[in-house]
Structure 1
Amino acid sequence: MSPRKAEENTRIRDERREQILSAALEVFIQKGYSATKIADIAATAGISHGLVYHYFRSKEEIYAELTSRLVKSTEATARIAHESGDPRSTLLRVLELMLQGMEKEPAYYILAAQIMLMAEALPSQANDIFRSGMESARAVAAVIAEGQKAGCFREGDPLQHFVLLYSAITGLAITRNTSLKMGGEPVTVDAATLLRLIESHRSTEEPTTARSLEQTPE
């Protein structure tokens, strides 16, 4: 087989796998893991039942691939949260990363939210995203706690503040996913706007950083 032919075959294989994964993601969101069948995924992808099995051995393998991608995204969030720097700038970078991921693949955020709520009802692969998600949440909550000490963020449970921010992003993901399906223009929200949900009045009255020059005092 010529190198060009091999390269073309690889491209076709990768495209087909992504087609199946995209269809599976949609079906898992609509029906949940337990109710989803390979036939549903095949119908949504517009391919034959047998062709799905040519690329994936089972529904579990498809689900494992999707959850592994979710794990990677939450691990990236945790890495930023663990980096040194002032809490406000660090949290802005975390939110920017999450928003970038949400804008690129909103359906993944919707699936992640379902997994976090229903992990006990899903196969073992979901445990990885659940654990990774909780580790990420704790890491970001620690950043928020440091920001509270510095007067950047409002008082209250840091983990609840993170849940508020994550819930807002999940809501944006749902809105974006729906808008794209209906051919509409999704609403975009930047990280600085999200950050105002937990910023203290003192923080917004102080000089802004280079990352948030567009902010206005409350």
Structure 2
Amino acid sequence: MMIDPNIPEKKNKLVNAALKLMLSKGYYATTVDDICAEAGVTKGIFFHYFKNKEDIGRATLGHFEKLQTHLLTSADWDRNADPWEQLNRYLDIFVLLAHNPEAPESCLTALMTQELATSHSEFRALCQEIFASNAKPLKDILDMVIERYPPLTRVDCQQLADHFLAVYQGSLILAKARQDRTVLVQNVEHFRAYLSALFHRDI
């Protein structure tokens, strides 16, 4: 759970309750009553802060994005280091997440995309924006790697960053199906090995 000091305590409780429920049950299966019960507040409090479930759905997506950003910005990796070192440190973050029992087992953005992309254009656009934001840090690092260590073949950094996003999202699904998070580590390391071959650099 992440507490945002800039919003009231009960609103924090509602958003964190919605996040927990939507990650475990999905958006459609989560009701306003469920959220209120999980947060320990009345429906009156809910409607003081949110117009409806779509409203808290948007807030919860934004909250989840803040959580992801916090994980990256608080991680121990030197943004002034050699680009190849930065790249490896960045991938290490996701290995550590795989070993963290408190890390979410699913991605809210992915779940909402699956449920809402064809029926709610606003949510689809929000999810697309978040995925683009998720890919940007890796794309920026890869841009620096290419400048310092030009590969022998043409490389599209945006496509590589999107590929990693797909690898990790897919790995979350496999890990949940198998009840085994080691697949997350294995696939991050496969991606790392692929980059090592692509840039002719040691892992």
Tell me the TM-score normalised to structure 1 length. 0.58
> What are structure 2's unaligned runs of at least 5 residues?
1-8
**Residue 105 of structure 1, CA deviation:** 0.3
- Which letter does structure 2 place at the counterpart of 1:170? Q
Aligned-pair distance for 1:84? 2.8
Asked if 1:166 is matched to 2:165, the reply is yes
SS of residue paired to 1:131: helix
> Structure 1 pair 160/116, CA: closer, same or farther in 2 (3 Å)?
farther
Structure 1 residues 162 and 203: alpha-carbon distance in aligned structure 2, compared to 1, 3 A threshold? same
For residue 181 of structure 2, give the secondary structure of its aligned residue in structure 1: coil
Q: How does 1:1-218 map to 2 (within 5 A)?
A: 18=16, 20-28=18-26, 33=27, 35-36=28-29, 38=31, 42=34, 53=43, 56-57=46-47, 58-76=52-70, 77=72, 83-101=79-97, 104-107=103-106, 109=107, 111-115=108-112, 121-122=119-120, 124=122, 127-128=125-126, 130-149=128-147, 150-151=149-150, 155-179=154-178, 184-187=179-182, 188-189=184-185, 191-200=188-197, 202-204=200-202
| Alignment partners' CA distance in 1, 2:63 and 2:152 | 31
Looking at CA atoms only, which structure, 1 or 2, has the larger radius of gyration? Answer: 1
Percent identity between matched residues is 13
Partner in structure 2 of residue 5 of structure 1: none
**Count of residues paired in the alignment:** 181
What RMSD in Å do the two structures reach over aligned CA positions? 4.4
Structure 2 letter corresponding to 1:68 = G
SS state at 2:196 partner: coil
Give the gaps of 5 or more residues in structure 1.
1-10, 209-218
Match of 2:3 in 1: none
Alignment partners' CA distance in 1, 2:180 and 2:14: 28
1:203 match: secondary structure: coil
Three-state SS of the structure 2 residue aligned to 1:189 is: helix
Which stretch shifts more, 157-166 or 75-84? 75-84
How far is 1:169 from its partner? 0.9
CA drift of 1:203 comes to: 0.8
Contact 2:83–2:141 (8 Å) recurs in 1? yes
**Aligned-residue offset at 1:130:** 3.5
The answer on whether the counterparts of 2:138 and 2:161 sit within 8 Å (CA) in structure 1 is yes
